[in-house]
């Protein structure tokens, strides 16, 4: 019996088994007995890149043959852990340039855990090299990057799974099936989504020399080159619009993607957003500390709000979504869900997150691990592998990730221009607004070239 069958049997003994089978069916769980052990490379060996990789190792007999990072210290540390965690105990080859890694290794799978401003170029080059890709969210920093990523995935016929793993979160799979799809909510005509975490890293560190173990030029890549003021890892880079899209791009994308999945929604008809830096003005951060966005659909409004200051509206649901239906209300988060029926005779339903600490004790010793997200990421990886095996679309296909990401980017453009945004995905343009349309593609720093969706 090969290692994958052993791991698969181990996985299916757990509490998530029936949910996994019912949610994913053959597409997600039929990756049994591959002809060869899949060769894996990781680009971005920091916190979440390693976390994704370790979840993959837990559910499949992959061989991690290459790691890439611009921080030599981080790269060496990741290699040491991977050699202990993977089945072969081999140490991967190490690279500082992802292009060299892709050219020197025949990779079946590439995981991308770099900052947002790198996702597009690395995904496109990986699929061109013949690899299937698991890329973290948000998939891009501008809309045209996302369009090019979708075009590349389709042209080169590669599976691209996006790390929006709420779609693989066991208790949320259950909520979708037993509450939303079962009709307990009735017609849903309003949605609230929010994040009230104090996650805006707003400091004033002094400028300093770039350390010799960090290739800061390569870390920056196509983005603007900020004066170096310390290691950018672990959230410092997220506080700047140069490298991402703020809390909208980081946190709203998860909840909006989940709502779209639950309610089977496509592109919004119109997007309106307001906000800015209202309170936390003292530091270098240039992302909004307060923002509201409205994603409009036919007879349905999806409303987002974030504050990185103050208290959450509901302490039990500080990062969450609420579906308001005519028959009931569903509150959902990474930690729980609650169904509240309207009227007499209904039965409230509560469910907490599923942990797998006993089945995967190695989780307990992993630095910075999100224990509540680990089961979801394992399911997400299995769904990704199933899509590769069956040549099908994964649950978080790149096109779905693009719609959710681009919608959040368009909300930021609405906030910036002060006008509503109507995006036409067929024409790849914002309708009737030349100024906003010019913002669909950010300028790249030379010599990097922005991908063109018509020429990938």
Q: How far apart are CA 401 and CA 382, in angstroms?
A: 18
For residues 240 and 237, give the distance between their C-alpha atoms in angstroms, rounded to a whole number.
6
Q: Report, in angstroms and rounded to the nearest whole number, the Rg of the chain calculated over CA atoms.
A: 21
Domain boundaries, the chain: 3-167+369-398, 169-203+230-353+402-440
- Is this prediction's pTM over 0.85? yes
Q: How far apart are CA 194 and CA 152, in angstroms?
A: 32
Question: What's residue 217's pLDDT?
Answer: 98
Cβ contacts of residue 429 below 8 Å, gap of 6+?
423, 437, 440
- Residue 40: predicted pLDDT: 98
Q: What is the spatial distance between Cα 107 and Cα 39, in angstroms, rounded to a whole number?
A: 5
How far apart are alpha carbons 178 and 175 in whole angstroms?
5
Architecture of domain 3-167+369-398: 3-Layer(aba) Sandwich (3.40)
Answer whether 42's CB lies under 8 Å from 111's CB: yes
The confidence score (pLDDT) of residue 36 equals: 75
H or E stretch including 332? Answer: strand 328-333
Query: So what's the pLDDT on residue 19?
Result: 52
CA pair distance 387, 297, nearest whole angstrom: 30
Domain 169-203+230-353+402-440 has CATH 3.30.360.10: yes
Structure tokens at 82: 């991977």
User: Tens place of pLDDT for every residue, the chain, 456 residues?
Assistant: 333 343 444 444 444 445 555 444 433 444 444 557 999 999 999 999 999 999 999 999 999 999 999 999 999 999 999 999 998 999 999 999 999 999 999 999 999 999 999 999 999 999 999 999 999 999 999 999 999 999 999 999 999 999 999 999 999 999 999 999 999 999 999 999 999 999 999 999 999 999 999 999 999 999 999 999 999 998 899 999 999 999 999 999 999 999 999 999 999 999 999 999 999 999 999 999 999 999 999 999 999 999 999 999 999 999 999 999 999 999 999 999 999 999 877 899 999 999 999 999 999 999 889 999 999 999 999 999 999 999 999 999 999 999 999 999 999 999 999 999 999 999 999 999 999 999 999 999 999 999 999 999
**Residue 380: both structure tokens together:** 């997400």
């Amino acid at each position: 019996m090969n290692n994958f069958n052993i791991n698969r049997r181990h996985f299916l003994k757990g509490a998530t088994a029936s949910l996994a089978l019912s949610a994913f069916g053959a597409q997600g769980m039929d990756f049994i007995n591959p002809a060869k052990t899949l060769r894996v490379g990781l680009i971005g060996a920091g916190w979440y890149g390693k976390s994704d990789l370790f979840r993959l190792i837990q559910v499949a007999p992959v061989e991690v043959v290459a790691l890439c990072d611009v921080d030599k210290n981080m790269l060496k540390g990741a290699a040491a852990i991977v050699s202990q965690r993977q089945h072969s105990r081999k140490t991967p080859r190490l690279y500082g340039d992802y292009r060299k890694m892709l050219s020197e290794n025949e990779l079946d799978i590439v995981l991308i855990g770099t900052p947002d401003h790198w996702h597009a170029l690395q995904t496109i080059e990986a699929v061109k090299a013949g690899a299937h890709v698991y890329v973290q969210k948000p998939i891009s920093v501008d809309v045209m990057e996302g369009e090019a990523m979708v075009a590349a995935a389709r042209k080169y016929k590669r599976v691209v799974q996006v790390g929006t793993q709420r779609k693989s979160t066991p208790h949320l799979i259950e909520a979708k099936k037993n509450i939303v799809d079962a009709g307990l909510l009735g017609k849903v005509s309003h949605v609230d989504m929010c994040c009230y975490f104090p996650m805006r890293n707003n400091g004033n560190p002094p400028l300093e020399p770039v350390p010799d173990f960090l290739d800061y030029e390569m870390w920056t890549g196509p983005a603007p080159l900020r004066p170096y003021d310390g290691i950018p890892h672990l959230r410092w880079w997220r506080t700047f619009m140069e490298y991402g899209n703020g809390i909208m791009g980081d946190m709203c994308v998860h909840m909006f993607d989940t709502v779209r999945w639950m309610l089977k929604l496509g592109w919004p008809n119109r997007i309106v957003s307001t906000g800015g830096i209202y309170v936390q003005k003292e530091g270098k951060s240039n992302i909004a500390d307060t923002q509201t966005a409205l994603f409009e659909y036919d007879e349905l409004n999806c409303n987002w709000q974030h504050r990185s200051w103050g208290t959450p509206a509901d302490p039990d649901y500080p990062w969450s979504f609420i579906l308001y239906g005519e028959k009931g209300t569903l509150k959902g988060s990474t930690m729980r869900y609650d169904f509240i029926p309207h009227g007499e005779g209904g039965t409230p339903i509560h469910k907490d997150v599923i942990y797998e600490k006993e089945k995967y004790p190695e989780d307990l010793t992993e630095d910075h691990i999100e224990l509540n997200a680990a089961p979801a990421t394992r399911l997400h990886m299995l769904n990704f592998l199933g899509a590769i095996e069956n040549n099908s679309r994964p649950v978080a296909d790149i096109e779905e990730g693009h719609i959710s990401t681009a919608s959040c980017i368009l909300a930021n453009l609405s906030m910036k221009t002060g006008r509503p945004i109507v995006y036409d995905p067929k024409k790849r343009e914002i309708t009737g607004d030349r100024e906003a349309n010019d913002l669909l593609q950010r300028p790249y720093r030379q010599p990097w070239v922005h991908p063109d969706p018509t020429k990938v």
